[in-house]
Each structure stands twice: as structure tokens, then as C-alpha cells.
């Protein structure tokens, strides 16, 4: 029975992910090319990557952008980014292009490059914040000078077949489309200029394309039942189990063990779920008009410090969230009228960095929620979250039949109290 349910929940998890993200239906990464000037053999464009996703940032080691040129274009120069390969420029005498490949692959520069290689919003190692967390940092841009291209808006051919790794797979990009030219305001805001031509490419994320297994799981507990419902076994796939590390292992003190790998391959602590991240939701206290939840996020990956982490949660009582301790909170309102989804993220310099696995590899918060007496109940797992995402990937919840049950003769809950006890309890202190 449980097996069937957990198999079903895997199906549900991934069938959602294929179509679009129900918690962020308009989320996308838009790549905009603004042609700023024509040159004798092409144009100079500013390429801007906007991360319009509310809670999915582009983490270390950052984005990699690729495309296929429509004709014989070359890249003369690039500022604020670089191609990973120059390709075959042997036909060129004198000036040698930055890249002659038909399908260039571009990456951001690292922080601290010389000023003459920098560009606005560049040089962050390809790390881009989520829109919901920090719109001012949800942007990355570079300048490219293209040769052997058209030199007017009639002759330019748009690049094709855009690909985006951010940082791994998962994104699918649509075709470039000419859009109304971007307008720019001069710094004194007294004059407007505009790009000579603009085109946009929109890329969307699917967890199904990104990975075979979830990358996080959820465990649950409550004050009214001592059962702790653990993450489902092998929630994140158990194929890494043979390489996992026991907490007291000597390997952990070896030099270089914690160094992140280029492909972000994790080094996991051995657990029955084998997830790099676990989110625990504990229903902690019941007051007359309020209830209290404790949330803890634990990192089981010895090779990852999560900067800019986000936690997106759907729960029907979030519309009456009264206080959040030690995390930031922002309602997401994916469907305008329904206020049941929000994102949590760390406070700057306090807990915005979720450290690698170990004694400091966790962050915690408590929520105070006001009860709406018409809907509030501890029954049937109502107090537990409907969906949980860590860093934009949906976490696997335990099967519903394993949630901590409200005992039938529950002395801990007010709702099943006879009315006179209820009155006694809450009016007595007043007397
Ligand atoms: C991309 O996201 C932005 C912001 O949510 C939205 O306005 C825009 O319509 C989206 N673009 C596409 C093509 O979905
Ligand atoms: C093109 O992308 C920019 C953001 O990069 C966005 O502001 C603009 O609305 C987009 N244009 C269209 C027509 O989608
Ligand atoms: C190209 O430029 C002409 C004017 O030079 C303008 O009327 C036209 O709208 C532009 N087309 C595009 C696709 O930007
Ligand atoms: C688009 O790019 C992908 C990956 O680089 C490649 O496999 C595919 O063949 C390309 N398609 C076209 C039409 O160029
Ligand atoms: C995480 O950060 C700490 C402190 O800055 C550092 O010592 C450690 O090496 C980092 N771990 C990883 C996996 O980058
Ligand atoms: C959504 O709920 C939060 C409290 O959790 C509240 O602060 C916010 O005003 C609500 N927004 C809307 C549009 O109802
Ligand atoms: C809960 O939130 C909704 C919408 O924000 C509001 O209409 C309602 O009055 C709130 N309930 C309580 C008990 O505050
Ligand atoms: C606590 O929850 C578990 C798991 O759902 C259930 O099996 C158990 O009966 C519950 N305990 C009590 C005292 O109701």
C-alpha cells in the first residue's frame, strides 16, 4: 500500500514538473539581445540574462549559454564574459576574433577580473539570484561584438538553437523573437535612447529534464503524536549509497574532500533517504488563536555551501502567517487571489549561507500562524505542507498515510474539547 502511494507521488511530482511549475507559473529565464550599434561588418550587442523565476536562482558554478549562428558570424570581442573555446580562426589575418565557432559556448567571468574586462552586471561567476529574493541581482549581462553578420535590422539573422545550463541541464529555450526595441534612460533621466534592434529568447525549467530523482525530501513531526515521519527511503535515489560517508568517517578530515566538483557532484552523508537536503516541518505548539511551526533545513552534502538558498512552501494557512523568526518571507501569489504559497530565504550575513554537511549544516526558523477557525484543524495532516521546494526543486514528501495522526481521544487539541473545558481553560486566567 505505502509502496503504491510513494510510487504514485513520484509520478505526480514529475508529471507536474514536465508541464510547468505550479508554484511559479510565469517563471522563466529571458535572454535579451540589444543591438547598440552597427559596425562595418556586423554589430555590437548587449546580451542580458534576466532570471524571472521567483525562487530558483542560478547557483555555482553559474550559467553557460550557447547558440548556433545563422550564417558565418564570428565574435570579434566580448566584454564581461568569454567563450570557452576560440575555435578555428585560421582564415583570419591581422585581427584574430575572440571566437570563430559556429556554436559558441559563453560563460561569465569570475569576480575580481580587471576593470577593462568588466561590464554592468557581469563577473559574478555566472551566479544569478532568484527574482523573488533580490531582483537587483537577478540579472547578468555582457557585451559582444559580432562580425560577418548583417549590418541593418533587415539583414541581421537571429542566432538559433539557444541552450542554457544553469548550472546543469533542465532548461529548454524557445526561438529568438524580434521584440520592440528596449529603451534606455540616460543617467540624468532627461533623455531616452533605444536599441537599434532587440530580440528575446525565453527558457523554462523542468525538474524532469534536470534530474532523474528529487534532490530533497521532507520529514514531519508534531506535538500531538510522538511519531516522527521520516523522509521516504531512497527519496533521492540510492545509487550514490556505496559512495556515501558516515558521520564519524576519517575521510572527512582529509584535505580537499570538501572541494566542490565542477559538475557539483555531491559527497553525501549516509542516510536512508540519500538526499542532499532534508526539510523538516514540526507542528510545535497550539495556542487558542495561533499555532506554531518549526522548520529546519539540513544539508547532507559535504561538498556544498548553499549561498542564496530558497525554500518555497505551499500551505493553506500561509495567508495568515503572522510572524517568521530568523528567515525572510515573501508571499508568492502565483494565482493572484490564492495566498497559500510563499518563499523563505536567509537573512543576509546571518543564515543566508547554508553550510556544508556537519554540525553547522543546518538553518532553522519558526512560524506563527493565525488560525482561521473555519478551516483550521490538526486532523488528516492538514497542518503539514502541501508542497515544498528547496532551491527551486520539488522535495519528496512522505506518503500521506504515514503522517503523524491526531490521536482519536486527543487531549492536546482544543478542537475536540467539550465546550465547557474550552471555556474553563481560556476564561479562568481572566478571572
Ligand atoms: C517570462 O517571465 C516574465 C516575468 O514573470 C513574464 O512577464 C513573461 O511573460 C514571461 N515570458 C514568457 C514568454 O513566458
Ligand atoms: C524581452 O525581455 C525583457 C527582459 O529581458 C522583457 O522586459 C521584455 O518584456 C521582453 N519582451 C517581450 C516582448 O517579451
Ligand atoms: C528596422 O528599421 C526600420 C527603420 O530603419 C524600422 O521602421 C523597423 O521597424 C525596424 N525593424 C525592426 C524589426 O526593428
Ligand atoms: C541544437 O543544439 C543542440 C545542443 O548543442 C544540438 O544537439 C542540436 O543538434 C542543435 N540543433 C540544431 C538544429 O542546430
Ligand atoms: C564552506 O564554507 C566554509 C567557510 O567559509 C569553508 O571553510 C568550506 O571549505 C566551504 N565548503 C565548501 C564545500 O565549499
Ligand atoms: C498574503 O499573506 C501574507 C501573510 O502571510 C500577508 O502579509 C499578505 O498581505 C497577503 N497578501 C495578499 C495579497 O493577500
Ligand atoms: C486570514 O487571511 C485572510 C486573507 O488574508 C483574511 O481575510 C482573514 O481575515 C484572515 N483570518 C484571520 C483569522 O485573521
Ligand atoms: C501517530 O501517528 C502514527 C503514524 O501515522 C500512527 O500510526 C499512530 O497511531 C499515531 N499515534 C497515536 C497515539 O494516535
Q: How many other C-beta atoms are found inside a 10 Å radius of the C-beta of residue 328? A: 16
Ligand 1 neighbourhood includes 51 CB (under 6 angstroms): no
Do 212-251+265-402 and 28-209 fall under one CATH topology?
Answer: yes
Q: What is the pLDDT of residues 318-352, one digit of tens each?
A: 999 999 999 999 999 888 888 999 999 999 999 99
**Which residues line ligand 4 at a C-beta cut-off of 6 Å?**
66, 68, 103, 161, 163
Confidence of residue 162 (pLDDT cuts 50, 70, 90): very high
State in Å: Cα 128 to ligand 5 middle.
20
Q: How far apart are CA 133 and CA 27, in angstroms?
A: 13
State in Å: Cα 270 to ligand 5 middle.
20
Q: Which residue has the cell 553547522?
A: 360
Ligand 3 atom 13: residue of nearest CA: 153
Whether residue 344 contacts residue 327, with contact meaning beta carbons closer than 8 Å, is answered with: yes
Where do the domains of the chain lie?
A: 28-209, 212-251+265-402
pLDDT at 146 over 90: yes
Whether residue 48 contacts residue 141, with contact meaning beta carbons closer than 8 Å, is answered with: yes
pLDDT at 54 over 80: yes
Q: Does domain 28-209 fall into CATH 2.60.40.290?
A: yes
Q: What number is the average pLDDT over the span 77-97?
A: 96
Q: How far apart are CA 264 and CA 40, in angstroms?
A: 43
CATH of 212-251+265-402, one of 2.60.40.290, 3.90.550.10, 1.20.1740.10, 3.20.20.140: 2.60.40.290
The pick from 68, 83, 169, 201 for probing ligand 4's pocket by mutation, whose C-beta has the most ligand atoms within 8 angstroms, reads: 68
Q: How far apart are CA 90 and CA 318, in angstroms?
A: 61
Which tops the pLDDT comparison, 166 or 427? 166
- Ligand 3 atom with least separation from CA of 197: 14
State in Å: Cα 96 to ligand 4 middle.
26
Q: What is the pLDDT of residues 227-268, one digit of tens each?
A: 999 999 999 999 888 889 998 888 888 888 888 888 888 999
The pick from 301, 305, 354, 360 for probing ligand 5's pocket by mutation, whose C-beta has the most ligand atoms within 8 angstroms, reads: 305
State in Å: Cα 305 to ligand 5 middle.
6
State in Å: Cα 333 to ligand 6 middle.
9
Q: Residue 268, SS3? A: strand
Percent of the chain exceeding pLDDT 90 equals 81
pLDDT at 13 over 70: no
Q: Which residues contact 270 (CB under 8 A, 6 or more apart)?
A: 241, 244, 245, 246, 247
Buried (b) or exposed (e) across 12-24, using 16+ Cβ within 10 A?
ebbebbeeebebb
Whether residue 244 contacts residue 270, with contact meaning beta carbons closer than 8 Å, is answered with: yes
Ligand 7 atom 5: residue of nearest CA: 319
Opening angle at CA 7, ends 6 and 8, nearest 5: 85
pLDDT at 423 over 70: no
Kind and range of the H or E run holding 280: strand 277-286
* Shortest-distance ligand to the CA of residue 355: 5
In this predicted structure, what is the pLDDT of residue 254? 87
Q: Residue 388, SS3? A: strand
In this predicted structure, what is the pLDDT of residue 107? 98
* Shortest-distance ligand to the CA of residue 195: 3
Closest CA to 204 of 419, 402, 28: 28
Q: How far apart are CA 389 and CA 56, in angstroms?
A: 9
In this predicted structure, what is the pLDDT of residue 409? 52
Closest CA to 183 of 80, 48, 39, 34: 34
Count of residues for the chain? 431
State in Å: Cα 329 to ligand 2 middle.
27
In this predicted structure, what is the pLDDT of residue 335? 85
Q: What is the pTM of this model?
A: 0.88
Kind and range of the H or E run holding 15: helix 2-19
Amino acid at each position: 500500500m505505502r509502496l503504491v502511494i510513494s510510487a504514485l507521488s513520484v509520478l505526480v511530482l514529475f508529471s507536474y514538473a514536465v508541464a510547468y511549475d505550479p508554484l511559479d507559473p510565469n517563471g522563466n529565464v529571458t535572454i535579451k539581445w540589444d543591438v547598440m550599434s552597427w559596425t562595418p561588418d556586423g554589430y555590437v550587442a548587449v546580451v542580458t540574462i534576466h532570471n524571472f523565476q521567483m525562487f530558483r536562482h542560478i547557483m555555482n558554478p553559474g550559467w553557460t549559454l550557447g547558440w548556433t549562428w545563422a550564417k558565418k558570424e564570428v565574435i570579434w570581442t566580448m566584454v564581461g564574459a568569454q567563450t570557452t573555446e576560440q575555435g578555428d580562426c585560421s582564415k583570419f589575418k591581422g585581427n584574430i576574433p575572440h571566437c570563430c565557432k559556429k556554436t559558441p559556448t559563453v560563460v561569465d567571468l569570475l569576480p575580481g577580473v580587471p576593470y577593462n574586462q568588466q561590464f554592468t552586471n557581469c563577473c559574478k561567476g555566472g551566479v544569478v539570484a532568484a527574482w523573488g529574493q533580490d531582483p537587483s541581482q537577478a540579472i547578468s549581462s555582457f557585451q559582444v561584438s559580432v562580425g560577418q553578420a548583417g549590418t541593418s535590422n533587415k539583414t541581421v539573422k537571429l542566432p538559433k538553437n539557444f541552450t542554457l545550463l544553469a548550472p546543469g541541464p533542465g532548461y529548454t529555450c524557445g526561438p529568438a523573437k524580434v521584440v520592440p526595441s528596449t529603451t534606455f534612460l540616460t543617467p540624468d533621466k532627461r533623455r531616452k535612447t533605444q536599441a537599434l534592434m532587440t530580440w528575446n529568447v525565453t527558457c523554462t525549467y523542468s525538474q524532469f529534464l534536470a534530474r532523474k530523482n528529487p534532490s530533497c525530501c521532507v520529514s514531519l513531526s508534531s506535538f500531538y503524536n510522538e511519531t516522527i515521519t521520516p523522509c521516504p527511503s531512497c527519496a533521492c535515489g540510492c545509487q550514490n549509497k556505496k559512495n556515501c560517508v558516515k558521520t564519524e568517517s576519517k575521510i572527512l578530515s582529509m584535505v580537499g574532500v570538501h572541494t566542490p566538483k565542477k559538475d557539483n557532484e555531491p559527497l553525501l552523508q549516509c542516510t536512508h533517504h540519500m538526499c542532499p537536503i532534508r526539510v523538516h516541518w514540526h507542528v510545535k505548539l497550539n495556542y487558542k488563536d495561533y499555532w506554531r511551526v518549526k522548520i529546519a533545513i539540513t544539508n547532507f552534502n559535504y561538498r556544498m555551501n548553499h549561498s542564496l538558498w530558497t525554500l518555497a512552501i505551499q500551505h493553506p494557512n500561509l495567508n495568515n502567517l503572522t510572524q517568521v523568526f530568523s528567515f525572510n518571507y515573501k508571499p508568492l501569489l502565483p494565482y493572484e487571489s490564492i495566498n497559500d504559497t510563499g518563499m523563505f530565504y536567509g537573512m543576509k550575513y546571518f543564515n543566508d549561507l547554508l553550510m556544508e554537511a556537519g554540525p553547522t549544516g543546518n538553518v532553522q526558523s519558526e512560524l506563527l500562524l493565525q488560525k482561521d477557525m473555519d478551516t483550521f484543524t490538526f486532523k488528516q495532516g492538514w497542518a503539514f505542507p502541501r508542497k515544498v521546494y528547496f532551491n527551486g526543486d520539488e522535495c519528496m514528501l512522505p506518503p500521506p498515510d504515514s503522517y503523524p495522526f491526531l490521536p482519536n481521544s486527543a487531549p492536546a487539541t482544543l478542537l475536540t474539547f467539550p465546550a465547557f473545558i474550552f471555556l474553563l481553560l481560556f476564561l479562568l486566567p481572566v478571572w
